[in-house]
Amino acid sequence: MRVSPEFRGRGIGRRLLDELIITPGQRGFSLLCLETGTHEYFTAARAMYGAAGFTQCPPFGDY
């Protein structure tokens, strides 16, 4: 998920994240995993995910 620079800081990313959290819960899912990179430009995303209650884990895909 990425928001264009001119729209950052308006809470759009957080609103999208909230929907990504709410919708699966409403559909009965009990686990939600998000994947993001470890590069510096993902720092803000990881901070937002952490503020939403997500914790870091090792990669879960088959790489």
DSSP the chain: ----GGGTTSSHHHHHHHHHHHHHHHTT----------SGGGHHHHHHHHHTT-------S--
For the cut 90, the answer to whether the pLDDT of residue 38 exceeds it is no
pTM above 0.85, yes or no: no
Residues 13-33 have pLDDT tens digits of 999 999 999 999 999 999 998
Whole-number average pLDDT of the chain:
89
pLDDT of residue 63: 67
- Rounded CA-CA distance 32/22 in Å is 10
| Whole-number Å distance between alpha carbons of 54 and 52 | 6
Q: Is the pLDDT of residue 61 over 80?
A: no
